[in-house]
């Protein structure tokens, strides 16, 4: 059987072009006629289990068949892609990203919000979306535009219309903060643009939630706690009643709510309000994690963000004591693991480089006691289940043909996730293979 390779120059081309058909262009031409592929890797990870000797048939934008090679024949007219030594797995799902941010050691968060134009930030986001896709992440939750308004909605639309390459996005737009609790903060005499939307009280909260949904939010993000002033520790911001109202208003419109929360009280209030995930959770206690488990609230720990920020602040890995924030994270993660709370996987990408998304997976295995299999399950079927994405996250007939092939076996060696050889999103082929 003929083996197809994907040189650098074909990056971002459509499946149709590879098979001699139409190129997907910025003018959003009519899509190519559905094509059929037979993918022959060394093994298939179906989202739960690794299967050596399995093959996958893709027809159009869907998975047609999967199973042992001896039981599946190549359909008439199908092209075969041999992937020797590679594992084929569902497209990875990034649980926490900010496409409109770039690493803070390049430009501080304040300066990004105050000094970078929205045009510049969208241009960066376009590149970030491509880097994310080529790293094997075919879906991403983008949890806040951080002062860029509803630009994330536009980036999502550009991806959906085939104007730019990128992952399927779930966007939170502006996010919600209690008045005075967020930033940037300069002189008390100067009102400056904020990194999220301020809202308080019954009327203000309902209006803000509905406005964000009407503008295109797939989910609502709320900051249940934050620093009121420079150098202060985080403290709860919204009251229990306000958080509950946010969840009720969003849920009535079919939108989930996620909460930034790092204090026990902020996490407790968010959990009781009915949010679906808590982001960060640095100060979580056994009691809080027990409550989260009882209520079915998942934790997205974003360990890579704290690791990156600690290094920006001067910490040298392997030299000197571990920073206090990372020691606290280690303890909270031990408590979370012991409680059995559901874990969503996302790194808070944007704090560090887009395309380096697997940094979170590696840290969870290398520093926090997760197995490689747990993390790969989490970034595929686990995140899909938590985020209600029933059409992806597994390799199963009828689901989206969002697939990634990596060299080696990521269920044994997590760093294999960086060895991306082939990416399919909805049957369209992208690659960064040489």
Instruction: Give pLDDT, residue 187.
Output: 84
For the chain, the structural domain boundaries read: 8-91+392-430, 92-386
Q: State the Cα–Cα distance between residues 363 and 288, nearest whole angstrom.
A: 23
Residue ranges, the chain, pLDDT below 70: 1-34, 432-434
pLDDT of residue 231: 86
Q: What is the pLDDT of residue 433?
A: 65
CB 354 within 8 A of CB 97: yes
Q: Are 400 and 426 in contact (CB under 8 A)?
A: yes
CATH of domain 92-386: 3.20.20.140
* pTM across the whole model: 0.92
Q: Which two tokens stand for residue 426?
A: 């909805």
Q: What is the pLDDT of residues 300-342, one digit of tens each?
A: 999 999 999 999 999 998 888 899 999 999 999 999 999 999 9
Say yes or no: do domains 8-91+392-430 and 92-386 share a fold.
no
- For 76-113, write each residue's pLDDT tens digit: 889 999 999 999 999 999 999 999 999 999 999 999 99
- The CATH architecture assigned to 8-91+392-430 reads Roll (2.30)
- Which of 283, 303, 281 has the alpha carbon at shortest distance from 367? 303
Give the list of residues 6+ apart from residue 303 with CB closer than 8 angstroms, or none.
329, 333, 347, 360, 363, 364, 367, 368
Whole-angstrom CA distances from 52 to 4, 56, 343, 358 are 21, 12, 27, 24
DSSP state of 3: P
182 close to 133: Cβ distance less than 8 angstroms: no
């Amino acid at each position: 059987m003929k083996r197809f390779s994907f040189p650098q120059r074909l990056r971002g081309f459509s499946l149709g072009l590879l098979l001699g058909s139409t190129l997907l262009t910025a003018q959003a031409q009519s899509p190519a006629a559905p094509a059929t592929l037979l993918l022959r890797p060394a093994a298939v990870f179906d989202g739960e289990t690794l299967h050596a000797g399995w093959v996958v048939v893709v027809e159009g934008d869907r998975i047609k068949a999967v199973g042992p090679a001896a039981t599946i024949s190549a359909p008439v007219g199908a092209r075969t892609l041999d992937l020797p030594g590679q594992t084929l797995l569902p497209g990875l799902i990034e649980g926490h990203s900010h496409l409109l941010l770039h690493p803070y050691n390049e430009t501080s968060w304040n300066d990004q919000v105050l000094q970078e134009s929205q045009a510049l930030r969208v241009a960066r986001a376009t590149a970030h979306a491509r880097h994310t896709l080529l790293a094997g992440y075919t879906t991403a939750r983008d949890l806040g535009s951080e002062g860029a308004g509803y630009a994330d909605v536009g980036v999502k639309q550009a991806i959906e219309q085939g104007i730019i390459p990128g992952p399927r996005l779930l966007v939170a737009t502006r996010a919600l903060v209690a008045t005075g609790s967020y930033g940037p903060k300069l002189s008390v005499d100067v009102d400056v643009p904020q990194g999220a939307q301020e809202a308080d009280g019954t009327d203000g909260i309902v209006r803000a939630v509905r406005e964000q949904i009407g503008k295109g939010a797939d989910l609502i993000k709320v900051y249940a706690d934050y620093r009121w002033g420079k150098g202060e520790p985080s403290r709860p911001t919204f009251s229990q009643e306000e958080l509950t109202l946010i969840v009720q208003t969003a849920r009535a419109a079919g939108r989930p709510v996620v909460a930034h929360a790092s204090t026990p009280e902020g996490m407790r209030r968010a959990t009781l309000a009915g949010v679906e995930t808590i982001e960060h959770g640095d100060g979580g206690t056994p009691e809080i994690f027990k409550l989260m488990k009882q209520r079915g609230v998942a934790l997205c720990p974003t360990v890579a963000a704290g690791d990156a920020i600690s290094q920006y602040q001067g910490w040298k890995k392997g030299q000197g004591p571990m920073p206090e924030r990372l020691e606290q994270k280690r303890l909270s993660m031990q408590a979370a693991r012991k409680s059995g709370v559901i874990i969503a996987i996302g790194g808070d990408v944007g704090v560090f480089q887009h395309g380096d998304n697997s940094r979170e997976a590696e840290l969870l295995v290398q520093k926090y006691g997760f197995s490689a299999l747990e993390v790969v399950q989490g970034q595929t079927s686990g995140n899909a289940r938590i985020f209600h994405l029933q059409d992806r996250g597994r390799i199963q007939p009828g689901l989206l043909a969002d697939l990634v092939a990596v060299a080696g076996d990521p269920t044994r060696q997590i760093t294999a996730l960086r060895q991306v050889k082939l990416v399919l999103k909805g049957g369209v082929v992208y690659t960064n293979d040489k």
